[in-house]
Amino acid sequence: MQRLIAAINEQLWVGHFDLWTHTGMIMHRQALVLPDGLAASTAQCESMLVGAIHACERYYPGVPVRGLGRQVGAGSR
């Protein structure tokens, strides 16, 4: 799983996937640096969410689903 996540991350420009070792859950992480007490704008938050959703939707079919013993493809959701 870690090799798959690393291969996916090589293709991402912003954000990355990580494996939460405590639960084995795959998560998407992204950071926004806001110095001196600045707040994120609505447009910045929306852009981050859209990017995360796009990455999850794009790479979900290639991730093996734990417990099912198979990979989930576009036709088997």
Over residues 23-39, the pLDDT tens digits come to 888 889 999 999 999 99
What is the domain count for the chain? 1
75: in domain: no
| Whole-Å CA distances, 45 to 39, 49, 50, 64, 67 | 10, 6, 9, 29, 33
Q: What is the pTM of this model?
A: 0.69
17: in domain: yes
How far is the C-alpha of 53 from the C-alpha of 39, rounded, in Å? Answer: 22
24: in domain: yes
Q: Is 9 in a helix, a strand, or coil?
A: helix
52: in domain: yes
14: in domain: yes
Over residues 62-74, the pLDDT tens digits come to 777 654 444 444 4
Mean pLDDT across the chain, nearest whole number? Answer: 83
pLDDT at 43 > cutoff 80:
yes
Binned at pLDDT 50, 70 and 90, residue 12 comes out as very high
**Which token pair is 17?**
């996937």
What pLDDT does 72 receive? 44
Pairing relation of β-strands 64-65 and 70-71? antiparallel
The range of the structural domain enclosing residue 47 comes to 2-30+39-66
73: in domain: no
11: in domain: yes
How far is the C-alpha of 65 from the C-alpha of 71, rounded, in Å? Answer: 6
